[in-house]
Amino acid sequence: MSANPILAPFPAARPRRLRRTPALRAMTSETTLGVGNLIWPIFVTEVAGGEGEIPSMPGVERLTLDGARRAAERAAKLGIPAICIFPHSDPDKKTEGCERAWDPENIGNRAIRAIKDVAPDLAVMTDIALDPYNINGHDGFVQGGVIVNDETVEALVRMALAQAEAGADILGPSDMMDGRIGALRSALEGAGHQDVTIMSYSAKYASGFYGPFRDAVGASGRLVGDKKTYQIDPANRAEALRCVARDLAEGADMVMVKPGLPYLDICREVKDRFAAPTFAYQVSGEYAMLEGAIRNGWLSRDVVAESLLAFRRAGCDGILTYYAPQVAELLA
């Protein structure tokens, strides 16, 4: 776009001319939203009776393995290119050592295989962080009240290799430990998984918008302290850009900004500065606010597509959104 657009004076210039009809608006639309821009996050539970609607995320459910299979078939039918698995693990099996994080039979790895069985062409994305299996609720090991970095990275590598072996297409390190992308890329190359893609949560903020997600994965009430020593301060912009640059230099194929709508300025700058595949996560708190307002009649459901279009306008190539199947049906 020109930095100095030429504008004729009124009445020669009447911008409303191009808004007059649906056809004219379609012809001059600058941003599009398609099914190919959607990634659908789902929660898969191993807890007996753990399935069903999540109270703080009305309309979103925890799924059994059979439910995950059905979701994958639905996604494939709708043309959604990718589904992202988040495990709801047995709280009685969470430990400080997080050993189940790299167990080939944990619920996340079982879900990868189950989805690939019914929808082999659907891209399966995973989450790499220790919090689903950590009794302390943190993304890394806690030692003496400190979330330790290097020991955590070693565990994340083991977790990533188990997910790659299970058939994951996209690994999503969401932990924000330093140096983990380089370690993951090196390990994947060495193990013959050179084609497995990394979508790094490069700019993940220490946000208050994650509350309903923690309900969904059973982490609410378990978190000891907060995550401010490893997630980015919401006040910081330059730090986020440095983290993105670092992750790309270490071998990330794609990068993510999280949360989404409150951080669209970061999305725009990441895309403009690095020209890398850029994604954002419309997180649980964003979903809960929109869906709560819609169900109370305060907002029209049209705001869902509008919110996703805002991500695209800000430069995002794709969006992780719990609305993916509904929007795919709308676009169809």
Calculate ∠ Cα 14-17-18, nearest 5°: 115
Q: Is 230:131 a contact under the CB 8 Å cutoff?
A: no
77: annotated active-site residue: no
Give the per-residue SS3 of the chain: CCCCCCCCCCCCCCHHHHHCCHHHHHHCCCCCCCHHHEEEEEEEECCCCCCEEECCEEEEEEECHHHHHHHHHHHHHHCCCEEEEEEECCHHHCECCCHHHHCCCCHHHHHHHHHHHHCCCCEEEEEECCHHHECCCCCCCEECCEECCHHHHHHHHHHHHHHHHHCCCEEEECCCCCCHHHHHHHHHHHCCCCCCEEEEEEEEECCHHHHHHHHHCCCCCCCCCCCCCCCECCCCCHHHHHHHHHHHHHCCCEEEEECCHHHHHHHHHHHHHHCCCEEEECCHHHHHHHHHHHHCCCCCCHHHHHHHHHHHHCCCCEEECCCHHHHHHHHC
One of 77, 94, 116, 204 is an active-site residue; which one? Answer: 204
Q: In DSSP terms, which residues pair with 87 in a beta bridge?
A: 44
Q: Is 278:315 a contact under the CB 8 Å cutoff?
A: yes
Token pair belonging to 125: 């994305």
94: annotated active-site residue: no
One of 94, 227, 258, 271 is an active-site residue; which one? Answer: 258
> Which residues are tagged catalytic?
204, 258
